[in-house]
Structure 1
Amino acid sequence: MVFFYPYGVAFILSILIVLLSTPLVRSIGLNTGYFDHPGERKIHDQPIVRLGGIAICLATLCSCLIVGLFDDFTRLPPVKILEFWGVIVGGFLFFLIGLIDDLSDLSPFTRLGLQFGVASLVWVVGVRIEFLPIPGLGLIPLGLLSLPITIIWLAGVVNAINWMDGLDGLAAGISGISACIMLVICLFINQPAAALIAIALATATLGFLRYNFNPAQIFMGDGGSYFIGFTLASLAVIGLMKTSDFSLVILPFLILVVPILDMLVVIIARLSDGKSPFYADRRHLHHRLLNRGLSQRLTVLYIYTLTLWVGCLALAIIGIPGGIFYGVGATGLLIYMSRNLGEHKQLTSVD
């Protein structure tokens, strides 16, 4: 039986910590000079503190540890407790990688090497993908391929979220929506440890929007996006992919399809032009929408809607009560937003 009161405590702790600590982190950033400066690919026109990931990480981990250590989560099977600690420690290590990059600007290959190292470490303690869903073939046991597939998944989602962090509130919003969808699913299939992490992360990221939505007062930086990306990816592993149920294993790919597909399209486009996958350009989805004349806020809200839409489809697929109605509602909202985008483009071209 799933008890709901621990999640309420985690919600309260996470929202309080992120709302109280973010202004403090911003003040420290202002005093130390750790800014994200304007540039050719940047949307903002003035320096903004980029250490907001500290508040997100602090809120998520503190609420998880306080509730996890003093509630019935300590009675979980040893395997689940080990997975829980793998996500907590791994998330903190990914946060450190991103924070170091924020402070000293690591090379792409150094960042990737460190990400692979931490992903390998959490694989050892049980945060691992054991089946790969193949349409028409079902679930394929990975065996020895579990390690490289897990590394690719964890590092891939980390960088997908990082690359979506290009507009005020974009990465935090889509991550918060994705975490909420995972929370509902984890509660539905009785995965309490994963649900605890999901509600802590969802609250921290959505609470962070208080300071990060346009016009942003602070950015999450690589520390924040790396932590969020890893936590989402590992949540999917321990909460949804530790099963032989095809519909569950396929859900994380659907829930996170917006940032993943954006990353894959950009990488393929760069490689087709003979450029490095790490070459910085303006090919991302949010750049394309901005180039159509959309405002920052409308662009971000449209991508929020896309994320919510695929998330509601995930709820419908798994058979969650009301999931079909959520999916229909999200589809209607997406159609409405798409029509508004078309009308906005026509008005912009006329002007």
Structure 2
Amino acid sequence: MISSFLISAAVSGIISEYNSILGEWINDPHGGGPQKFHTKPTPRVGGIGVFLGVALGLLLFGWRQRESAQQAILLLLSSLPAFVAGLGEDITKQVPVKVRLTLCLLSGTLAFFLLEGGITRTGVSLLDHILNSAPLSLAFTMLAIGGYANAINIIDGFNGLAGGVCVIILCGLAYVCYRVDDWFLLHSCIVVLVSVLGFLVWNYPSGRIFLGDGGAYFLGFALGTISVLLVHRHPTVSPWFPVLLAIYPVWETLFSIYRRQLLRGASAGNADRLHLHSLIYKRVLKASCKKGDRCVLNSTTSVYLWFFSLISFIPAVIFWQETPALQIFTLSWIVFYIWLYASIVRFKTPIWFKLNLKPNFHGIRT
């Protein structure tokens, strides 16, 4: 586990320190896009360090626990299409959205067959009956894991945001894996978690390296696959546990599709600055501190969303076996999200949600 942290931190540090050598290939240019909030070119291939850290950790675990070696290798193999799709976009910036989405779905398909785990329980009787069909279970699993990968990519907008949210989700998954004595999934959670922490050493708060599409897709795939396998293997785990645990990135994605495609008639793949994290940055933090250091505002935005994710984390780990309670908390969280989003859009942000930063506070500029 320590080796996973060290390799992730070391690789991320080397890339951030020597990015000028391959800057044209690995850097994310500042400005120029609706989701760019940094002020100088920054490497966006942080997923390399995370992937290598996870790969090392899983392979070492498989070497020590031979009965888990096959699972470790198959999990890594299943993740490759999603990771390669994202990394290709990070380097070339020319991989079409449909190609990336297709490869994420392919990773979900590989996980279904190679790891022999699919979604067959949802807590909704009619849907559960439909999912008794293997092809429909495959389709649902493929969409869930592929969608999860894209959900993490969507919230990857500020220093530490996606990484911090993934750490919170992984803590919840690890806790339940421990409760049901699933040591392979528990170790997988911990290996991914410490690899993300190694990346965060350089990503938060300074933003010296970004996760990139490769890192976001890989983490989304890993979290989605662990969630599917946990519910599939252990009937005592409610299928709504991973839903509530990851409701922030999941709902942000679904709401973005609704907002872009149904309300505005645009493509769901078009980037914009109307995500909740973008609105908090522009209309809550920048409005409260117009002269504040941009990096401080960037990193503070992530803290807001970490707490937002913790709101769902707490009831999820308490009621991980209780489907009705989890459904109620999920619906309540969605209602709260919509109310808060509408309030910020209408410039009626609640007073308690605002934060007054000292305008002359100087942080690390990005």
What secondary structure sits across from 2:122 in the alignment? strand
- Give, in whole Å, the separation in 1 of the partners of 2:227 and 2:212: 23
Whether 2:250 is the aligned partner of 1:260: answer yes
Number of residue-to-residue matches in the alignment = 316
Partner of 2:123: 134
SS at match of 1:241: helix
Amino acid corresponding to residue 249 of structure 1 in structure 2: P
1 CA distance for matches of 2:201 and 2:252? 26
Tell me which amino acid in the other structure corresponds to 1:36.
Answer: D
Counterpart among 309, 313, 317 of residue 311 in structure 1? 313
Per-residue CA deviation, residues 302-330 of structure 1 (Å, 9 max, x unaligned), is: 2111222312211110379xxxxxx9xxx
Q: Indicate conservation of the 8 Å contact 1:15/1:207, yes or no.
A: yes
Q: Distance in 2 between matches of 1:280 and 1:25?
A: 26
Whether 1:51 and 2:42 are equivalent positions in the alignment is no
Partner of 1:26: 16
Distance (whole Å) between structure 1 residues aligned to residue 319 and residue 301 of structure 2: 28
Q: 1:220 aligns with which of 196, 211, 216?
A: 211
Is the CA contact 1:179–1:198 (under 8 Å) kept in the aligned structure 2? Answer: yes
**Structure 1 segment 203-218 matched on structure 2, within 5 A:** 203-218=194-209
Aligned residue for 1:128, secondary structure, equals coil
User: Match for residue 323 of structure 1?
Assistant: none
Question: Does 2:56 correspond to 1:65?
Answer: no
Range that drifts further, 261-270 or 28-37 = 28-37
SS in 1 for 2:238: helix
Query: How far has the Cα of 1:344 moved from its partner?
Result: 6.0
Q: Percent identity?
A: 26
Task: Return the match for 2:185 from 194, 198, 210.
Answer: 194
- Cα distance, 1:271 vs. partner? 0.9
8 Å contact 1:84–1:194 — kept in the other structure? Answer: no
Mapping 1:173-188, distance limit 5 Å: 173-188=164-179
Matched residue, 1:99: 87
2:351 corresponds to: 342
Aligned ranges for residues 290-305 of structure 1 at < 5 Å? Answer: 290-294=281-285, 295-305=297-307
| Alpha-carbon RMSD | 2.6
The aligned amino acid for 1:252 is: P
2:62–2:72 Cα contact (<8 Å) kept:
no
Which amino acid is 2:228 matched to? V
The alpha-carbon distance between structure 1 residues 269 and 231, as it changes in their structure 2 partners (threshold 3 A), is same
Whether contact under 8 Å (2:82, 2:214) holds in the other structure is yes
Q: Hey, what does 1:109 align to over in structure 2?
A: 98
1:298: Cα distance to partner? Answer: 2.9
Distance 1:29 1:90, change over 3 A: farther
* TM-score normalized with structure 1 length: 0.83
8 A Cα contact 2:155 2:162, kept in partner? yes
**What do the CA deviations read for 1:195-238 (whole angstroms, capped 9, x no partner)?**
11100111111232111013211111111111111000001111
Return the offset for 1:297.
2.8
Other-structure match for 2:343: none
Code of the aligned partner of 1:45: T
> Which amino acid in 1 is paired with 2:53?
A
- Once the two structures are superposed, residues 266-297 of structure 1 have per-residue CA deviations (whole angstroms, 9 ceiling, x without a partner) of 11011121100001111211012123222323
Contact 1:17 1:59 in 2 (8 A): yes
Distance 1:343 1:75, change over 3 A: closer
* Structure 1: gaps (5+ residues): 1-9, 321-326
Kept in 2: contact 1:86–1:127 (CA 8 A): no
TM-score (normalised: structure 2): 0.79
2-side partners of 1:75 and 1:30: how far apart? Answer: 44
Task: Report the counterpart of residue 112 of structure 2 in structure 1.
Answer: 123
Unaligned runs of 5+ in 2: 286-296, 323-328, 341-348, 358-366
Separation of aligned partners in 2, 1:243 and 1:137: 21
Whether the aligned pair in 1 keeps the contact of 2:180 and 2:234 (CA below 8 Å) is no
- Conserved? CA contact 1:97–1:114, under 8 Å: yes
Amino acid in the other structure paired with 1:111:
R
CA distance in structure 2 between the partners assigned to 1:139 and 1:305 by the alignment: 33
